[in-house]
Structure 1
Amino acid sequence: MQPFDAQSTSDERLLAALLGGMDAGLCALDGDGVVTHWNAEATRILGWTAEEAIGRRGFGGWAARPSDAGQAEQRLLAAMAAKGRRVSEFALLTKDGRRVLMRGQSAAVRDAEGHPIGVYCAFAEAHTRIDLERALALSESLFDDASWGVVVIDADLRPAQANAQAARMLRTGREALLGRPLADLLAQGAEELEGALQHVLAEGAPPASVDLWLSPRGDTSGARRCWRSGFVRLGSPMGEEPVPLGIGWLFSDVTAQKATEQEGARVRFRYQQLHRADRAAAECEDAMEAACLQLDFALAGFADHALVDRTDAAGRLVRAAGTPDGEAGPCLPTGSTIPVGYGHAHPALQALERVGTVRTSFAGQGDAQAAARSREWARTRHWPAGTAHGLVTVLRSRGRSVGTLTFLRAAGRPLFDRADAAYAEEVAARVAAALDLAGLAGGAGAAGRPDEGEV
């Protein structure tokens, strides 16, 4: 009687468990083509049990049609003479007589001296295997060649994998961003991104893409970028229940597109306001009321305050209408006849001299001293407290300058740009006509000269 070998028995049980738990069908043939191993997944795919398969020579007469058996055996046994693994396709027959195309990987089984003594083959139905290979190919393509940024975020909301495009957009290296908190990678927008990721982990992917405004820390300009983002929750297919492994974040930069959309929306809104103002002003019996109504419509979303100064008979500027200095309110006539005490370098006087538009802003920083200087800057120009940006354009009617129109913004709003200047000039043309009609233009004022530009 042979002695009991506990280690050998344990190894055999482990091998049997591994073979039985494989997700692919497995069969092994010796050098003569006799089946020596047949696992549970092979039984599930084809219906033939291990007892029915082991010991048979080849597949002919049971697991393959005669026309297919020779080709299948030849392709498998050819792996004995090849180096490494070989991928091949062959047709087998299920126990109920259904012909199925298989896709398998086969490799030689060698003895202790390295001589081939058989072959094993792991196989699955071709369409299932091709689906897996397509998924792997897609994954590799996303991380190598995709024009979108792709980042795999783990359950702790830290990047676990990223492609080259994502690293470029985040202004860092692919290895440098792995495992780092998102706040270390983004100067702005990290909280919004983390909120979206937590939602995906808890509820699943949103039904549509999301536009996130972010600013990478590596971008020295500090400008915010709009990244159109899609999210997918990653779950493990290996567990009995889906286990969240993290999130796939796919994104592309649509900043230019969003800027164009926003500019288009802004232009449409402004010229709709002009159209509405024209219709409302046409119903006014008083021309000065019509001018104030034009400014009330123009201020919406454009500026915080508006001031209208008319020229008197001596060519001096007199306040004709304006919004309140404190809280925002409607533009009202002032009825004043006293000239405004503007200094010689005031933007309103510059606009009159140039017969054009002048833009100006306070360029201080956000500390206590800068706040005091900002108040003094506004006070010396006779503008409301808190003003940080001004735009002054000349009022022209019947070939002469009849006054100036000033728009003002507080510190929390952006500087006036060229598009703002063009819009202000459209409003000024309407206000100037109403002011002239009201008979409040005191004289020829400053003679019209070619526009010398803006500052």
Structure 2
Amino acid sequence: MGLRETAKDNRGDPYGITSAAVVLVDGHGTIRHWSAGAEELLGYPAPEVLGRDAASLLSGEVSAATALSGARPAGAGREGRVTLRHRDGRGVPVAVRACPLSAAEGTGWLAVACDVAASHRWELDQAVARALLEESGIGIGVLDTGLRLRWANRTLAAMDGLPEAAGTAGPPESVRLPPWADSQARQVLVWGRAAPALEHVVPPPGMPRRSTPDHLRVRSSFPLRDGAGETLGVCHTAVEFTARDRARERLALVNEAAQRIGTTLDLDRTVRELAEVLMPRLADFVAIDLFHDVAAAQDLAPGPVGHGVLERVAHLSVRGNTPEAVVPLGGPARYPSKSPQHRCLTTGRPIRDPVVDPTTWWLTGDPQRMAKLGELGVHTHLVVPLRARGVTMGVVTLMRWENQAPFDEDDLLLVEELVARAAVCVDNARRYVREHNAALALQTSLLPPDLPDHCAVEVAYRYLPADADAGVGGDWFDVIPLSGARVALVVGDVVGHGIHAAASMGRLRAAVQTLADLDLPPEEVLARVDDLVLRLADEAEASAEGPMVVGATCVYAVYDPVSRRLCVARAGHPTPAVAHLSEPVELPDIPAGPPLGLGGLPFESAEIELEEGSVVALYTDGLIEASDRDVDIGFERLCFALAHPDRPLEGICDTMIRILLPDHPRDDVAFLVARTRALPSDRVATWEVPADPRAVHDARERAARQLTAWGLAEAAFTTELIVSELVTNALNHAAGPIRLRLIHERVLICEVSDSSNTSPRLRRAGNTDEGGRGLFLVAQVAQRWGTRYTAAGKTIWTEQQLPGGPPPVSPAGGGR
């Protein structure tokens, strides 16, 4: 039975009280107890031997007292050896351990015996285990389920720099393995199986590299389980050996490079990781230069490159101040045409020069710099192109001086392998940055370049794209002028990231602008956008391109500076926040409709009356959910940031960013802050028009007098014509109360409201028609005109440029 079989044997110690032959002999040599193990060993059942003289079981003329006194007590070293007589008459060599007993009735002996062969096997197993734990070069430690080190031999303690107690009585509970090994042991607890790994150990900082050879360390962790299969902890082993086998060392370096290079899609970090792998293992100095188009994530031409601007993106040296790095980080690297770098780029092949030639060296030819290289003792260099997918992105230069061996063919093959692996990661990072920049440029171009200045609100906004890992999202905002001096405030968020999300955002923003031109109520705007999202998703699915729009959220609010009321509807979007001048910041209870793209459920709106100077904040969920904070905490911080709405809006925006957002938000953030204004009552004139044809004349005169009072007498003729035509149409084709309203803001607005839902239609009247020219004339003299529907009917409105004001933005006759 070997060590493995002994470990599996439930009996374990052959001298165990439950498995060995146990015999109790009194002071007269009479057997008083006979165990089942004794019966199995010698074949005698207990009734046959109890009361017999123990000497009768011995072979030879040795007394029982003599045999027992020659046996050692348990734990005292080597046991005694005797030959006993089996029931069948043969002799059985056994190992005996005995201890004297003393009692009131007299003295006696307790003897424990086992087969000599079993004793030999057990002693060998114990010796192997003891030598493995205490004398071998294998580091062994035992961790509990909390990964606290409970025991470690001296080898592991010395290997990992553990406290001295770790190799003796046991370490303090706070002692843990190094992070690398601790992570491996943690995987064992999670997966429940052994986890071997290879670790490279570099010389300590400040120690000359060549004076202290590199080491490889093989670590393995495996679970420790009890007899019931429950995990008691983890056993960790480590074996260290000098890496003198160059093939093994190269394999370890390639393995390390695969784990360290390309951990992110950050270009600068990727080239830095390559430099850290190459220095000091392969070179005393390494420099990485990339073409400017790579850093700018632009397209590159395939094949070798004979021209282009190189930039130094990383360099490392065994010397702390890198005196050999004559090209600063971020600076241009200009190489003469005969330099190995230029030859490497033009041919696409590595250049290995065993001797530095001052006439063709890659420096600028500065004698002082060449003298500095001579002082350093640089004797050889290797230049390798950084190429991936047929595109040359830069060049890697390695130099040696502390390492006296020149670069050989094996070094060249290894460096080419490492650089090729890194080049793929660099190209991936470049492509990702290019896609990210394209998506960001697309989204930025689809957002409003500047918000219009409106008499109803003063606005400020912020848009912060997500970090490079998350990608560009589909957040947007908008301020849309409406008829009657009103304004629409919109903030939306398309689900997902990337170019598809940005393109979808542009389509939804255009749709919302178009629907806003129709002067629809907020809930109706969201309902129609919801239909559009469903239709776009169906079209994309039918074209097998995948859904470009999988969902979106939106909040749409309309503010009227005349009534000072804000009408809001939202589709799966956070509710707006309102900062009142005399009350705490409010999060009004706006009915929460479903996100856009679900369909089937209606949207509702709610109205809020605001005092002039109140601040309304519309935002995407990225603002209140940044850094995975609790949403309630996000709302509390938002209310705190909006307190004191009398501050400048730009300052409020900066406060919101500072309080609510981390340095690098993981989701796009867009928010719009608007301070409400109110039109003075003397800038609005309203009249009720009776259902009498003579009321047209009265309406014209009232409008003329009001324009004179406003100092707009020059616009009286045009306004009288508009009022006459609109009031006449209302009297002829509508029913119910008719109201005329004039609004003097940056344009002159004329509105005629009635209770009819019949939409007026612009047409060209024939030469013999008596009517049909009213709206045509209105469209010719007004800057814009249109119709909006209300719960009580409709309103036909026009806008006129004020006398002396700027020219019309849109051509005459345009409507919305």
| TM-score (norm: length of structure 1) | 0.50
Q: What is aligned with 2:241? A: 254
Q: What is aligned with 1:188? A: 180
**1:332 corresponds to 2:318:** no
CA distance in 2 between counterparts of 1:139 and 1:39 reads 30
**1:27 corresponds to 2:14:** no
**1:150 corresponds to 2:140:** yes
Q: What is aligned with 1:122? A: 112
- Structure 1 residues 51 and 257 mapped into 2: Cα distance closer, same or farther (>3 Å)? farther
Asked whether the equivalents of residues 157 and 181 of structure 1 are also in contact (C-alpha less than 8 Å), the reply is no
Asked whether the equivalents of residues 216 and 240 of structure 2 are also in contact (C-alpha less than 8 Å), the reply is yes
CA distance in 2 between counterparts of 1:197 and 1:391 reads 54
CA deviations 1:180-232 (Å, max 9, x no partner) are 578x4313343234324655xx34x57xxx3432779xx77899963223556
CA distance in 1 between counterparts of 2:140 and 2:161 reads 14
Q: What is aligned with 2:481? A: none
- Structure 1 residues 29 and 406 mapped into 2: Cα distance closer, same or farther (>3 Å)? closer
Q: What is aligned with 1:279? A: none
Q: What is aligned with 1:369? A: none
% identity of equivalent residues: 18
Structure 1: gaps spanning 5 or more residues: 1-18, 268-300, 308-321, 347-358, 366-374, 384-389, 428-455
Q: What is aligned with 2:407? A: 422
Q: Matches of residues 42-121 of structure 1 in structure 2 within 5 Å?
A: 42-60=38-56, 63-64=57-58, 66-67=59-60, 70=62, 74-78=66-70, 87-111=79-103, 117-121=107-111
2:44 partner letter: W
CA deviations 1:350-391 (Å, max 9, x no partner) are xxxxxxxxx96499x9xxxxxxxxx973334359xxxxxx99
Q: What is aligned with 1:159? A: 149
1:261 partner letter: R
Give the counterpart of 2:124 among 116, 131, 134. Answer: 134
Asked whether the equivalents of residues 323 and 332 of structure 1 are also in contact (C-alpha less than 8 Å), the reply is no
SS at match of 2:109: strand
CA drift at 1:169: 0.3
SS at match of 2:331: helix
Q: Report the count of equivalent residues.
A: 308
CA drift at 1:330: 4.8
**1:168 corresponds to 2:164:** no
Asked whether the equivalents of residues 306 and 408 of structure 1 are also in contact (C-alpha less than 8 Å), the reply is no
Asked whether the equivalents of residues 287 and 396 of structure 2 are also in contact (C-alpha less than 8 Å), the reply is no
Asked whether the equivalents of residues 292 and 310 of structure 2 are also in contact (C-alpha less than 8 Å), the reply is no
2:199 partner letter: W
**1:178 corresponds to 2:171:** yes
SS at match of 1:147: coil
1:256 partner letter: A
CA distance in 1 between counterparts of 2:98 and 2:219 reads 42
1:416 partner letter: L
Cα RMSD over matched residues? 5.7
SS at match of 2:398: coil
Q: What is aligned with 2:330? A: 378
CA distance in 2 between counterparts of 1:79 and 1:46 reads 19
CA distance in 1 between counterparts of 2:26 and 2:253 reads 78
1:151 partner letter: G
- Structure 1 residues 220 and 138 mapped into 2: Cα distance closer, same or farther (>3 Å)? farther
CA distance in 2 between counterparts of 1:155 and 1:104 reads 40
The worse-fitting range, judged by mean Cα deviation, of 19-28 and 163-172 is: 19-28
1:178 partner letter: P
Give the counterpart of 1:212 among 191, 194, 198. Answer: 198
Q: What is aligned with 1:368? A: none
Asked whether the equivalents of residues 29 and 64 of structure 2 are also in contact (C-alpha less than 8 Å), the reply is no
CA drift at 1:140: 2.3
SS at match of 1:95: coil
SS at match of 1:32: coil
CA distance in 2 between counterparts of 1:231 and 1:361 reads 35
Structure 2: gaps spanning 5 or more residues: 1-14, 255-281, 321-326, 336-341, 345-350, 363-381, 388-394, 413-816
Q: Matches of residues 194-205 of structure 1 in structure 2 within 5 Å?
A: 194-196=186-188, 199=191, 202-203=192-193
Q: Which has the higher contact order (CA 8 A, sep 6+)?
A: 1
Q: Which has the larger radius of gyration?
A: 2
CA distance in 1 between counterparts of 2:140 and 2:172 reads 15
2:330 partner letter: A
CA distance in 2 between counterparts of 1:150 and 1:20 reads 27
SS at match of 2:32: strand
CA drift at 1:333: 4.3
- Structure 1 residues 153 and 120 mapped into 2: Cα distance closer, same or farther (>3 Å)? same
| TM-score (norm: length of structure 2) | 0.30
CA distance in 2 between counterparts of 1:32 and 1:78 reads 17
CA deviations 1:39-73 (Å, max 9, x no partner) are 2222233232222221001242xx44x43x62665
CA distance in 1 between counterparts of 2:310 and 2:190 reads 59
CA drift at 1:159: 2.9
Asked whether the equivalents of residues 323 and 329 of structure 1 are also in contact (C-alpha less than 8 Å), the reply is no
CA drift at 1:234: 4.8
CA drift at 1:242: 5.8
CA drift at 1:408: 7.7
Asked whether the equivalents of residues 230 and 250 of structure 1 are also in contact (C-alpha less than 8 Å), the reply is yes
SS at match of 1:48: coil
- Structure 1 residues 395 and 253 mapped into 2: Cα distance closer, same or farther (>3 Å)? closer
CA deviations 1:226-247 (Å, max 9, x no partner) are 32235566555xx5x5665545
CA distance in 1 between counterparts of 2:222 and 2:151 reads 14
CA drift at 1:166: 0.9
CA distance in 1 between counterparts of 2:34 and 2:118 reads 20
CA distance in 2 between counterparts of 1:401 and 1:221 reads 34
1:195 partner letter: Q
CA deviations 1:296-320 (Å, max 9, x no partner) are xxxxx9999779xxxxxxxxxxxxx
Asked whether the equivalents of residues 304 and 409 of structure 1 are also in contact (C-alpha less than 8 Å), the reply is no
CA deviations 1:106-150 (Å, max 9, x no partner) are 1111135xx971111111112222222222222322232222212
- Structure 1 residues 406 and 231 mapped into 2: Cα distance closer, same or farther (>3 Å)? closer
SS at match of 2:40: helix
Asked whether the equivalents of residues 71 and 81 of structure 2 are also in contact (C-alpha less than 8 Å), the reply is no
